[in-house]
Structures are given as structure tokens and as C-alpha cells.
Amino acid sequence: MNLKSYINATKNLEEHSRQCYAETIILSSDEFVEMMLLDACFLVELFHSGDFSTKMPGRVSDSGNSLVPFSPEVPDPIIYPLHHGLTLPISRLSISWSRGNCLRVSFFPKPSPDPCREDSGNSNGEIGGKVVEVKLSSGDGEIDDAQERRIAYGSVSPFALLQSRKNSFSELSRMSMSSSSYHVDWWEHVMEYSRDIDSLLGNPKPPPSSAIEDPKTVLKTVEEPTCLKAAWELMEIFYVDKQSQAWLSERLVDWLADYDSLLSGTEVTVHSKLVDLQKELVDLQAIEDDPKYWEGISSALAVGWLEIAVKLLRLHGSYQLHQLGKRETENGLVETVAVLVSKMPRMRPELAAGRLGECFKTKPDFIKAWEKWRGNITKLDCSGYWIECDHRQTKEGLRKILQIMLGNTDILSNTTCHWMELYISHFLYIRPFTMGLEGMYSLAQKCMQLKLMSTPHKLMGLILGILGENTEVVLAECSRAFGPWMVAHAIELLTAGSNQAEILLHEERYNLGGISIEELHRLVYAQVLSSHALTWQIAPIYLMSCTKQGMGLLEILLYKQPVHHNKTLLKILEICRLYELNSLGSDIMKIAGIYHWKHGRKGAGVFWLQQAQDEARLNRIAQQLFDFVGKSICDESFKQWEGLIELLGSGVRSAGGLEFLHKYRDFKKSLQQVHDGKTIDAARQAVESLILLMRNPSTPQRFWLPLLHDSLKLLSWQERPLLSVSETNLLLNKLQELSMSRLRPDFCEADLPPQALSSVRLALATNLGRAILEIKGIKLGTVIILCKLESMLWFCWSLDFSLGVLGLRAVDGSCFALIELIIGLSIAAQLMRYYNHHHLGVHLQSEFTLRMDENNIITPEEETETALHHKGTLATSPIITFTFRSVEYQQYN
């Protein structure tokens, strides 16, 4: 085809191609066809250039530079059904994240066209849909959620203790303190940490044993171990326990004995063969005739399970009493082999109770014993007693056992099932003198080639990473198979004895945002903890160990917690206290206070704002409270305040404007006692509370007059004046200030009777006069306030200073005319200034002189004076003479 043919073919696709673009292409027909041809040529070149799918942006085509190698192959997805119980069809599906690693899938059925149908929506007649939670997990579910939380909580204490010790070691190293009292090998602390964690992962315990043990029981029934515990102990063996480096192969034998059952889930193992054999032993009469019997003995011996091998050997039929005479040679060979097995030299310090073998702590002693033991096996193998053994299966089985102990490679390969079992058998019988990791990785690869795995177990990748001394692979396998918890805690094991691993994991990396791999995995684990409502409170332990980003993420975590739950709030504040986050704790208390206040829990709101010492918001709340209660603080409205007042208590540190309520509560209690007829002490206490209220700047101005109006009984106390001159002047000044404030347009009038201000002013004036007279030491009779001269009272109420209008009644009951007592020279001076300013005139009408004798009898005299005076004093004369004057005020025309 020529170019013209391509152009014509492309033009036929123009209309359809334009519809494929989201936006309108503003090009002519020829320009659009040209663009399409250029795009087609580019795609053809791209296909001819090679496999472009692995070189596109966003995919990593070469993992050689990555920290953790990975395979770009994606396994085939596994489809799981979700049972929702709704009637099909489903019209809408909604997927959202729930707590932790759960998805919330919401199903909405198709609404029925007939709204009257009762079964519209689903088969149960319910309107709506169904919500199903799906837990996402890469694990096999061997540990449930409750067990995971128990492990998470239990590992906090060992982790925190190890971090504390690490910080102490860092301090000592900076101080260059190498004293023996401080110097302890770090691995010992890590070993203690590892054992504490290991105890959390489960201790397989056998069920209660019966009094009579079944002689044919080969394997004891124990709790199924977990892969997590197996992985942890494996890392402890290779990275932490420095004392076991000389007998590493023996530790692997013990590990396989505990966890070979885990490998049975994917492959046939020695453990699974022994389980099958134990089931058949019950029905076998001549056990030595069964080939599975000899296979079980050989397999158990190959992996070092000497106890099982000896126990099976002594189940041989020649041990029966009625067979001893007939099969003496056969029984002797069986017993000799059993003794050789039980005397196998072991390069280890000790064995647990019930374990067979002879222990040697030093390599020379072990080599000497090993050569002697091998020599005895060789002698037995060449013995002439085999000719006298008539039982073919016994003879072949025993000689096979001898070949295993002599290290026959082919027989070891045939008697083991899993490559890990073959690997262990090599260390026991072929390479018994191996020390440390010498040649372990290459041997593992050879064994894997001999024993191919159909389905690799998740522990195998971890084992290969450990044997290959590849820290990155170990971390990747821990993360893939066991999750963030394992990685965050196992890093301490990896760095216990390896400087290379410590540098690798603690080095700050630019591509990780300036943090180390160790900090990255701790942050990931802390994020997992933070996403669950039952584990978020232990996340700060791990965040605080992250020096770069831990503090910032901790603040975000605490800020995101709901503060409306009191227990959660207390946990947050305790965390802030433990880590000395005082500012953060104060902010959270402010948030809690505002939340409770906005949602109607005013007492809780005030309490938390008090704890946060938030003066500004407390003052705002006080203002809102005053507006809410109203303009008057009567007894009815005050009941709404009682809760807050009790909350403030007697030891208020900082309550802002609400401090007024606390003092007002004390005043109200004292005033109530006065009204209940209590003694003068209660009245004095009420007066003290009143003065404290009026002096306190937190008392709102609009409450001054209601307070004074409630105190009229105190201001007019009959027995004696309760307020001193200075206290009365204070209250008069408050009234003066209040009178000036009433001129402002924003002044809020109190809900009181119209004559309330006049009554308070008159009561204060009366109290001031009586207080001055009491200072002079004059004994007065009953004081009666007379309000008959309207012009005089108008003058008293209009002027903002004290003017006492008193009537004195003598003891004999005779009343005198109304008189005006000019109280003090300062008041007289104020009076004259007022007269001069307002052009008022003063006209003296009459004068009276009163005489008081030693019996307090007051009598008039015909003596006229022009000023207040007295003759004599209390100290010199019992006879005291006072002169009073009565005046009338007129305004000049």
C-alpha cells in the first residue's frame, strides 16, 4: 500500500476518532488525519523497539538498585464470595475503609417499581441495603485478632525497657565510661528482650498426661506452634545467642524438632510420617514386619530425634518375653544399635531432661568422642552377628540405621522428606564439626536442589535470608510473611551483633525522607497501631523512639483522637504527661472544653478550660453565661449556676470571669443564714462576701445594683452598722460609677423595682452616718428612717453623696422633730460646692441642741449653735451636748 491509501483509510476513521477525545479537536480534516498518522507511526516504532511494557514510567524494570529485591510478577488474583443475603439485582455498591485493615462494602438493592410491595428491597422486607465488613490480610489466620492485640500489648514493656537501656548505653559511650561496673555485653540485654517477646508468642503445653503412659505413643500431643514463634526463635539463634554459635547445628536440631510440624502443611515431612506411623502402631501385631516402622526409625534418627528412634527400636517384637529365647541374637543387635544411638556425642553444653546423647562443651573432647563412637558403629557393621540374624527386615533396618550414623549421603537423602531435614542431617552425620555459618548457605542450596518444594513455606525465605547473611532479604521476608509487628521488633535482633546490619538499618537515607530503615518500619507499625481503636494508645511508645518524625506524628495522632469520651481524653493527657508534652496537653484540654461547651455539657467544658488555664475562653464563657441567665441574679435564675459554682470549688486557680460565681455563692449562703435568723456573725460574714464581690474586678457592673439591693437588710442592720466608713464609701463610689454608666446607650438595666436605687442610696447614707457616729463613740437609741420631707429626700436621692436623715427617739418615748445631721466636714464642703454650682440657696430655719446624760437620756436645750459641736468628751465628762440644725432648701428664681 502507498501513502495515499493510508491517508484514505485514516479519513474513514476521522469521525469516530474525534469522538474518542474528551475535548473538541479544533483542526481541519487534513490536519487531523496528519496527526493520526504521526501517532500511528510513533506507536509502530514503540512496538518494534522491544518489550516496552517493562520500560514504561511507573514500573521498576530493574530491581538491582533497590534495597529489597522483588519479583515484578503479580500472582493470579483469588476471588472470594461475599454473602450479603439480598435479593438480586444489586443496583449500587459502595466500598469504604473501616477500622484497621477492614473494608466496609455496602450493597444497595434495586428499588421495586411498586412502592406498595412489602418485599421491595430484599427478601426480608427491609428497606435499604446490607453492609459487610471484609478483613484484608496477607496472613494465614493462625493468630486471631485478640491474640495479636495481646502480643502487641505484651511486647510494649520489653521494647520500652530495651530502648531505655540503649539510651543509657549511648550516654555512657559519649561519656567514655568503660568501667567494668557499667560494661555489660549488649547482646545479653537483647537476649533478655528476645526471650520476653518469645514467651508472648506461645509456649506449647502438652495436655494433662494420664497416670499410665501408652508405650506406643511416639509423639506427644502439644499445642500447635505458630510460624511467628518459629521465625522469632530462628532469628534469636542466628543473631542474638552468642553462646550457641559453637553448637549452631544442635540449635537447629532443636528448632526443627519443635517446628517440623509447621512444614507439614505444605510438604511431606518426618513429623507427618511419624504421625501416620503412630496411628498404625495400635493395630500392628508384628511391628518389625512393617516397612513403615523401619522408615520411621530411620527418618527420626536422620534429623536427630534420638529419643523417638530408641523408643521405636524398643517396640521391636524381640523384646517380648515369649520371644527372648528364640530371637536372642536379633534382640542383642537391636539393643546394641539402640545403645549406640543413645550414646551419640553431641556438641552442646547440656541436654534437657529426657533427651538422649552425650554432651561435650569443647571441640577437642567432642572430636575424640565422635571418632570413638564412629569406630564402635563400624565394628558393629562388620560384625558376624548379622549372619545369625534370621529376620530379614530387622537385619536390613538395623544396617540402614548404622549407615545413617556413618553418614551415608544416599540413605540420608532417602530417609528425609524436606530439604530442611536433609540439611540438618548433614550437620549431624556428615559435617559434625561445622562452626558458625561456615558453608551453611551453599549447603542449603544443594539440599534445596535435591529436595524440590512444590509450595514454598513462608519460613523458607526467611531461613535462606539468614543463611545468606542478607539483612535486606530478612527484613523483606519478615514484612511479607509476618507483618509490621515482626519487622519493628526483629530489627533489634538483627543489629545485636552485626555492625554491618547496624550501619545499614540506622543510616539516614535521602530517598526515605532523611530517616533510617529502622525508623521507617517503626513508623509503619505505629501507623498500624494507630488505625485501631484498641491499640492506638501504645503507638506513642514506638513513635517516641523515632527521632526524626516520631514527635510530629505523635502530635497528629493525639489531635485526631475523639475528646468527647472521658476515658480517651484521660489517656491522651496521661501520654502527654509521660512524654512532657505540656503544650500539647493544654491544647487538647482546650479542644475538649470547647467541644463539651458547644454540645451543652457546660460543666465539663468549664472544667477542661480551667485545667488548660484558658483565661480568654473562660471570660467569654462567663459573658455568655451571664447573658444566658439574664439581667438579674435572683434566686430562681441562680439555680442554673449551682453546678458551675460547685465545679469551681474553693481552690480555684484560674477561672476567669467565672470567679464571680464562686464568691457570689458564698455571699448567697451567708445572706440566707441572715434571713433564717442567724446571729450577727452570719451578717458580718455576708457583709465581707459583699465587699469582696464589689471589690473584685471580675464582678460584672450590671450586677452591682442587684447585689446591693439584696443586701438592704445588711445595710440597715438595727443593732449597729455592719459596714465601716471606708466600706460604705466604696459602695457609694460604685453607685456613683453605676450612675455614670447608665448614661451609655449599651447599658443593661437590671430587673429591679423602680425605687431600688433610691432605697440602696438611702440605706448607704444611713449606714455612713451611723458608722461615723460609732467611730465618735456615741451611743444611739433606736434609729428610725423618716421619709416625710419630700424636698429633702429628693435632694438626698439626686446628689451622689451621703446625707443621713435621722430621727432620734429618747428612752422615755418622746419624739423630736425631724433634724438633718450634717455628717463630716468633707460632706459639708461637697454640699457647698454643689450649692454654688447650681445656684441653690440655704435658709436656716431652726436650731436644736440635744443633751445626753450618763443614762443615755436625750433632752432638748434652749441653746442655739451654728455648727456641729460638743461640750466635753467621753473621756472627761459624762454629759455630752450636741447641736443639730434643720434646714430647708429653696432654689433661687
CA angle 284, 286, 287 (to 5 degrees): 65
Single pTM value for the model:
0.64
- Give the pLDDT confidence score for residue 178 in this predicted structure: 52
Give the integer Cα–Cα distance in Å for 229 and 469. Answer: 20
Look at residue 214 in the predicted model and tell me its pLDDT.
65
The CA distance from 356 to 362, in Å, is 19
d(CA 143, CA 224): 11
- Pairing state between β 345-347 and 358-360: parallel
SS3 for 176?
coil
The number of C-alpha atoms within 13 Å of 361 and in the hemisphere containing its C-beta is: 3
CB burial of residue 637 (10 Å; 0-12, 13-18, 19+): middle
Q: Which 3 state secondary structure label does DSSP give 745? A: coil
Taking the C-alpha atoms of residue 235 and residue 256, their distance in angstroms, rounded to an integer, is 14
Output the CA torsion sign for 798, 844, 824, 840.
positive
- Angle at CA of residue 608, ends 603 and 612, nearest 5°: 145
Q: What cell does 557 get?
A: 495522632
Cβ partners under 8 Å of residue 35, min gap 6: 27
- Domain range annotation of the chain: 3-54, 246-446, 614-775, 778-893
* Residue 196 buriedness (CB in 10 A; 0-12 / 13-18 / 19+): middle
pLDDT along the chain (893 residues), means of 10: 70 75 71 78 63 40 42 59 70 73 76 54 54 66 82 93 86 62 70 92 61 67 84 91 82 90 85 88 80 91 92 85 77 90 90 87 91 92 85 89 92 92 92 81 90 84 90 90 91 85 87 88 91 89 90 90 88 91 92 88 85 84 63 55 60 54 75 75 83 81 81 81 86 85 74 81 84 63 32 34 33 29 39 43 37 42 37 31 36 31
Average pLDDT, the chain: 74
CB atoms within 10 A of CB 37: 15
Amino acid residing at 502: E
* Predicted local distance difference test score (pLDDT) of residue 837: 45
Residue 256 region by backbone torsions, left for phi larger than 0, else alpha for psi between -120 and 50, else beta: alpha
Its sign, for the CA torsion 156, 162, 165, 170, is negative
pLDDT at residue number 402: 92
User: Which residue bears the cell 558376624?
Assistant: 384
* Residue pLDDT, tens place only, 122-174: 444 445 677 777 776 655 567 888 888 999 999 999 999 999 988 887 777 77
> Distance from first CA to last CA of the chain, Å, rounded?
128
Alpha helices in 282-391 (DSSP H): 291-302, 306-313, 328-342, 363-381, 385-388
Q: Residue 349 has what pLDDT?
A: 86
Instruction: Kindly give, in sequence order, each residue whose CB lies less than 8 Å from that of residue 843, ignoring residues fewer than 6 positions away.
Output: 887, 888, 889, 890
Q: What grid cell was written down for 46?
A: 514503540
CB neighbourhood size of 549 (10 A) = 16
Contact 103, 85 (CB under 8 A): no
Residues 6+ apart with CB under 8 A from 565: none
Q: Using one digit for the tens of pLDDT, what is the confidence trace for 582-613?
A: 999 999 999 999 998 888 888 888 888 888 88
In this prediction, residue 872 carries a pLDDT of 32
Which strand (E) or helix (H) includes residue 847? strand 840-852
